[in-house]
Chain A
Amino acid sequence: MDLDKIGLYLGCLIPTEQYAYELALREVLPEFGLELVDIEGPACCGAPLRHINLSLTMYLSARNIALFEKEGLDILAPCPYCHQALSEAKDIMKKNPALKEKVNTYLKEEGLEYRGTNEHFHLLDLLHDEIGIEKIKESIKEPLEGLNIAAHYGCHLIRPNDIPRPDHSEDPQKLETLLKAIGAKSEYYNEKLDCCGAHIFINDQESALTKTGQKLEAVQKHGFDGMTTMCPWGQRMFDAKQDSAGQTVGASLSLPVIYYIQLLGLAMGKEQEKLGLHLNKSPVDKLGSKEED
């Protein structure tokens, strides 16, 4: 890995409520010799504003990239929603230099310039491609043997394939590979690529929770011991809103849902509290007991 430090761009959801993700990231990644750098000034990536005004999305994404670019930093965007917005902005400006100029006239007012010279990663490609499976395997002290964990990638992490995404849009495998690296097993399930419903929660809670509930029910029925995510939106739905989702679809759900980075931390022998495990609402303790079996 050439990277020894990287700018951490958390977006909106992680630093305002998905604290477990942030705790675990800050706890685990430095173990691989990677310094996470916080910088002054980032704002929303703009993705949630797409519904209202696509220009805002464009501006905000470009602005965030420019901020890190100014510091000479590559970016780690652990939220797929953010990561995709950054990728899309970058892609469009690359294909349309005139637009890039236009965006820059606005950025100038904030004393910034977008050039597009830095890279951005999601946790998935950072772990799988940069840090690498070998290093991860070496770091494992307590492999999670005996666990069968469902992989939830999240729509924006893999789609759409016309802009660079961290994994294959229809047959992503990196998360499974990462699960295997920490000793767990991850079977294929038909609903793997399905949506969590998070993005209509804002205006149609019932539909959103139905999506969440249906996917959880399918995973539970398949016999998985738990589900892992790399997305704060998905985690929020599957973990924090699991009870309401269960009520909405009329199912009794009791599925441990856990960030992959938390699982990795556990396998590395980290303290639960430092990984924010107490913040997960779903019955993550079940994972431990299952493991012992």
Chain B
Amino acid sequence: MSIVDLTSMAEPEGEAQKKVNEIIKGLKEDIPNDCYQCGKCTSGCEAFILTELEPHKVMALSKSGFIDELLNSSEIWTCVTCLKCKERCPQDLAPVDVIFAVKNIAVVSGKQIDSGYSNMLQAVLGTGFIQSPKEVVDRENNAVTREGLGLTPMKGPEEIAKLQQVLMKAAMETLR
């Protein structure tokens, strides 16, 4: 590469960029290179006002290959998945999906992720669901359960071990 970012001495990473693009193509979408930086996505981004996530910058960094900067940024984890960026992009691009792709790559490359996500994954692997039926309270603060309300017990996956096995394999593959 003959391009260097003089503020960080980082160089564009072609390989990492390819990985992002592959995931995006798998989703049957156009890769970030089509982005002409109009900024419409960031103007309407529901996360930006709170957390400074700039979807147009995510697009710019990924089309220029500065993936590492994205992988290390905390903002990518603040997308609320409102999908407005994808809905309104005049080039039919999907910053939200590029953000998903980058997060997926961050997970694979062993970046620290919020425990909320790992717990959720463990729950799905263990029970098939992100959580088990909870005891809740009604407006009068009485505790209520699923059974207590007369609802039938949840019928989850019968062979959870089997599901777990397949999921572990599927996670390694690119099912995209």
Q: In their complex, do chains A and B touch, with some C-beta pair under 8 Å?
A: yes
A→B interface (CB under 8 Å): 12-13, 15-17, 19, 22-23, 26, 38-44, 48-56, 58-60, 91-92, 95-96, 99, 102-103, 106, 109-110, 155-156, 159-162, 169-170, 193-195, 197-200, 202-204, 207-208, 210-211, 276, 278-281
CB of A39 within 8 A of CB of B155, answer: yes
Are A16 and B129 within 8 A (Cβ)?
yes
Q: Is the CB of A159 within 8 A of B84?
A: yes
Return A109 CB to nearest CB of chain B, in Å. Answer: 5
Chain A neighbourhood of B107, CB < 8 A: 52-53
Q: Is B10 an interface residue (CB 8 A)?
A: no
Taking a contact as CB atoms closer than 8 A, the residue among B81, B84, B163, B176 that contacts A199 in the complex is B81
A82 to B128, CA, bound (A): 14
- Chain B residue numbers with a CB within 8 Å of A160 are 83, 86-87, 94
B87 touches A207 (CB 8 A): no
**Cα distance A38–B158 when bound, in Å?**
14
Question: Are B176 and A99 neighbours in the complex by a CB distance under 8 Å?
Answer: yes
* Contact between A99 and B47, CB atoms less than 8 A apart: no
Cα-based distance from A155 to B131 in the complex (angstroms): 22
User: What are 18 contact pairs spanning A and B, CB under 8 A?
Assistant: A15-B133, A17-B133, A19-B144, A43-B129, A44-B124, A49-B124, A53-B171, A54-B26, A55-B173, A56-B170, A99-B26, A103-B175, A109-B162, A169-B87, A170-B87, A195-B80, A200-B47, A211-B46
A200 close to B86 (CB less than 8 A): no
Asked if residues B114 and A203 are in contact (CB atoms below 8 Å), the reply is yes
B73 lies within 8 A of chain A by Cβ: no
Secondary structure of the B contact surface, majority rule: loop
B101 and A54 within 8 A (CB): yes
In the assembly, what is the distance between CA of A50 and CA of B100, in Å?
Answer: 7
User: Which residues of chain A come closer than 8 Å to B86, judged between CB atoms?
Assistant: 159-160, 162
Q: Given the complex, which residues of B lie within 8 Å of A17, measured CB to CB?
A: 131, 133-134, 136
| Inter-chain contacts of A208 with B (CB < 8 A) | 80
Assuming the contacts A99-B175, A102-B175, A279-B144, asked whether A59 and B170 have C-beta atoms less than 8 A apart, the reply is yes
Stretch of B54-62, B64-72, B146-154 contacting A (4+ beta carbons < 8 Å): B146-154
Q: Are B77 and A203 in contact (CB under 8 A)?
A: yes
Near A by CB (< 8 A), chain B positions 72-90 give: 77-84, 86-87
Nearest chain B CB to A130's CB is how many angstroms away? 24
Q: How far is the CA of A56 from the CA of B171 in the complex (A)?
A: 6
Interface residues in chain B, defined as those with a beta carbon under 8 Å from any beta carbon in chain A: 23, 26-28, 46-47, 50-51, 77-84, 86-87, 92, 94, 100-101, 103-104, 107, 113-114, 116-117, 120-121, 124, 128-134, 136, 138-140, 144, 146, 149, 151-152, 154-159, 162-163, 165-167, 169-171, 173-176
- Please indicate the chain A residues that have their CB under 8 angstroms from the CB of B149 in the complex: 19, 23, 276
Given contacts A43-B157, A54-B101, A155-B81, contact A278 B138 (CB under 8 A): yes
Interface contact A43-B78, CB-CB below 8 Å: no
CA distance A42 to B134 in the complex (A): 18
A22-B151, A54-B101, A211-B46 known; A49 vs B131 contact (CB < 8 Å): no
What distance in Å separates the Cβ of B133 from its nearest Cβ neighbour in chain A? 5
Which 8 pairs between the two chains have the least Cβ-Cβ distance?
A43-B128, A55-B175, A202-B116, A195-B82, A159-B83, A203-B114, A59-B170, A58-B175
* B83→A16 contact, CB < 8 A: no
Q: How far is the CA of A207 from the CA of B169 in the complex (A)?
A: 34
Contact present for B83 and A155 (CB under 8 Å): yes
Select from chain A the residue with minimum beta-carbon distance to B86: A160
Least CB separation from B82: chain A residue? A195
| Closest residue of B by beta carbon distance from A58 | B175
CA distance A44 to B113 in the complex (A): 21
CB pair B156–A51 under 8 Å, yes or no, is: no
When C-beta atoms are compared, the residue in chain B nearest to A170 turns out to be B87
Q: A52-B103, A278-B138 are in contact. Are A207 and B114 (CB under 8 A)?
A: no
